[in-house]
Structure 1
Amino acid sequence: MTQTTEYQATAAASGGAATEKFVEKAKAGPDTSPERVSALASEVLSAVHDVIRRHHVTYEEYDTLKAWLIQVGADGEWPLFLDVFVESVVEEVASEHREGSKGTIEGPYYVPGAPALDADATLPMRADEAGTPLLFHGRVRDVAGNPLAGATLEVWHADDAGFYSQFAPGLPEWNLRGTVTADADGTFRIRTIRPAPYQIPTDGSTGALIRSAGWHAWRPAHLHLKVSAAGCQPITTQLYFEGDEHVADDIASAVKPELVLRPDVAPDGEEARYDFVLDPA
C-alpha cells in the first residue's frame, strides 16, 4: 500500500481543511448592526459596479466571474483567497493604533491548541526533519520596557518543503507547531528548522486566477506567531528572512520591513533574535 505524503497535498484538501477550521473559529463572530452591514455591503457593490462601467465588462466576462466564484466555494478556497488578497489591508486598519511590535496577517493555516512548551523549547518535529536548524529567541515586554513574565507565544510554520501540518497529508498532527510560555523575565528560546518559501496552492480556483492574471504564487519563508500576555493586546504576526527573493513581492502583501529577521550563522545552523513589544489592553 502506497503511503500518502505531504507531496500529494491538493488545493481542494487544504482548502477544505482551512474552511472547516475557519467556520469553527467564526461561529462566535460579532453582532454587526444592520446599518453597518448595509453601509459596507453598499460600498462594496458600488465599487464593483464602478469597475464594470469603467472597463465595459462583457456578459462573457461576467459569466466567467460567476463560474469562478462558484468554484472558489466548491474548492473550499475562500479562506485562502481572502487571506492572501484581502487580509493584509484588514490587518493594517485593525493595528494602525499600535505603538508596539508590528503585526501582519494570520493566514489560513492557524490551528489553536498546539502542544504546551516551556520557555526553552523545541517544536515538535520528525526525527529526520529536513531543513537548516534554527534557534529563534528573544524577549516579550510592554511598551514601557517591562518584561512580561509568562507571555504566551503560539508558533507555527511550514516545513522545509513548504507544507503545513494538518493541511497536507502524511505530516504528524502538530509538526512544527507549539505554544511556548516565556520565563519570568519574558525570554524564550525556540529550536526549530528554517521554513521554506512556498507557492500557495495553485491547482484550484485561486491558482486559476493567478495564472489568468499572469501573477506569481510565492510567499517568502516565514514564522507565524501569536503573542499574548495578561493586561496587553495580543498580536498576530509573521517573521521573514533577509535575502529571501520573495520578501519584496510577497503575493499576500504581508511583509513589513520591521518583520524581517537577519539570522546569524550558528555552529549547528542559524540563530535569530526578535523581541516583541505589546501594547496595553
Structure 2
Amino acid sequence: MTQNESFTQEQEAKAADSGANASARFRERMAASAAGGSVVDHERVNLLAGKAIKALNDIVIEEKVSYEEYNALKAWLIKVGEDGEWPLFLDVWLEHSVEEVVNEHREGSKGTIEGPYYVEDAPELPWNGTIPMREDEPGTPFLFKGQVRSVDGRPLPGAKLELWHADDLGFYSQFAPGLPEWNLRGTWVADEEGRYEIHTIRPAPYQIPTEGACGQLIAAAGWHAWRPAHLHFKVRAQDHQLITSQLYFPGDPHNDDDVASAVKPELLLDPQPNPDAEGEMTTYDFVLDPEA
C-alpha cells in the first residue's frame, strides 16, 4: 500500500467502523477478565443500578419529559448499540469521574482516562527506542524523556511504559483503516536508573467520531467534539501501582473544554526545540505509588 492510499483510507474511516473495533476490543478484555474469575457483587449492582434508574426517573418527572422525547431517547440508545459506540460514549462522558474516584488516594503522578483506543501487547522496545511508524510518517519529531521513580524518590529500573497516540491526521492504528497494525504504539523498558527516551511524533488534536450516535448527540446539544492533542501512557513497575495517564500540549484551544473532561494542570507538558535534532523534546517524570 502506498503512502497516499494509506492516508486516503484513514480519511474515509467511519465512526461505525471505529466503534465496532472499540466494542470488539472491550468484549475481548472483559471475556479475559471473566475467565480470570471476576465475581459479581450483587449488593453493589443493586445499589448502583437502583440509583442510576432512580436518577433517570427523577429527570423524567422534574423535566416533564414527553413521549416524543422519550421515544427519541429510545431510538438514540438503540443507535448507540448499532453503531458500536457504547465504549466511546462511556469513555468520553463518564470515565473521567470513575478515574477520579479510583485514583483519589494516589500520592504520585496524576492519572486520567484510558479512552476507547487502548490495545494490549504493543511491541516492546529498549529504553531509548523509536515508536513503530510508517516510512516518512508525517508530523513533528518529538522526543519524550524522563525517569520512573517511586514516591520515596527511588528509581524504578525495568519499569514499562506503554505509549499510544493519534497520528498527524488524528487517527489511531487498529481503529482506522490504512494504518499498520502497531503504528504509533509501543512499550519501552526503562534502564537501570528508571530512565527512558521515547522517539515519536507530535500527535494532532482530533474530533471524536461524529457521524454516528455520539455525533448525533453532540449536534443536538450544540456541543463540540474536539479532544486536544495528547499522548496516552500506561506505566508500571514491580510492587507499584499501574498509572494510566494522558499528557497534553500547552496552547491547545481545547485544553480548557476537552469533550472528555480529561485534562488536568499536572498533565501539561513543556515542549521545547530539540537542540540535538529536528523537532521538539520534553522531559516528564512518572512517580508511582507502591502497591497497597
The equivalent position to 1:150 in structure 2, one of 144, 147, 158, is 158
Question: What is the SS of the residue equivalent to 1:96?
Answer: coil
Q: Name 1:70's counterpart in structure 2.
A: 78
Rounded to whole Å, the distance in 2 between the matches of 1:107 and 1:229 is 22
Residues in 2 aligned to 1:190 and 1:36: alpha-carbon distance in whole angstroms: 42
After TM superposition, give the deviation of residue 32 of structure 1 in Å. 2.2
**1:215-235 Cα shifts (integer Å, max 9, x gaps):** 000000000000000000001
Amino acid corresponding to residue 106 of structure 1 in structure 2 = E
Tell me, in whole angstroms, the C-alpha distance in 1 between the residues paired with 2:234 and 2:43.
32
RMSD, matched Cα: 1.2
Cα deviations across residues 68-92 of structure 1 (Å, max 9, x unaligned)?
Answer: 0000000000000000000000000
In structure 1, the residue matched to 2:47 is: 39
Paired residue type of 1:34: H
Most deviating of 117-126 and 265-274: 265-274
C-alpha separation in 1, matches of 2:173 and 2:41: 37
Q: Paired residue for 2:280? A: 270
Matched, 1:18 2:7: no
| 1:131 equivalenced with 2:139 (yes/no) | yes
Shift of 1:26: 1.3
- Helix, strand or coil: the match of 1:120? coil
Q: 2:110 aligns to what?
A: 102
Give the alignment of 1:178-217 within 5 angstroms: 178-217=186-225
2:242 match: 234
Letter of the 1:271 partner, please give it: M
Q: CA deviation at 1:35?
A: 1.1
Q: Distance in 1 between matches of 2:9 and 2:15?
A: 15
How far apart, CA to CA, are the structure 2 residues paired with 1:246 and 1:182? 32
Q: Would you identify which runs of 4 or more consecutive aligned residues in structure 1 move more than 4 Å?
A: 1-4
**Structure 1 residue identity aligned to 2:286:** F
Separation of aligned partners in 2, 1:100 and 1:255:
17
Amino acid at match of 2:21: A
Give the secondary-structure state (helix, strand or coil) at the position aligned to 2:74: helix
User: Where does 1:223-262 land on structure 2 (aligned, <5 Å)?
Assistant: 223-262=231-270
Match of 1:279 among 277, 280, 289: 289
SS state of the match for residue 40, structure 2? coil
Provide, for residues 27-74 of structure 1, a one-character-per-residue CA deviation record: whole Å limited to 9, x for no partner.
215412211110100000111011111110000000000000000000
Query: Structure 2 length as normaliser, TM-score?
Result: 0.95
Name the % identity: 62
What amino acid is the match of 1:155?
Answer: L
Q: Which residue matches 1:165?
A: 173
Secondary structure of the residue aligned to 2:23 is: helix
1:100-151: CA deviation from partner (whole Å, max 9, x where unpaired) = 0000000000000111100011000111100010000000000000000000
Distance 2:151 2:124 in 1: 26
- Structure 1 residues not aligned, in runs of 5+: none
Amino acid paired to 1:167? F
Q: Distance in 1 between matches of 2:108 and 2:236?
A: 12
Q: Secondary structure at the match of 1:203?
A: coil
Q: 1:9 is matched with which residue?
A: 13
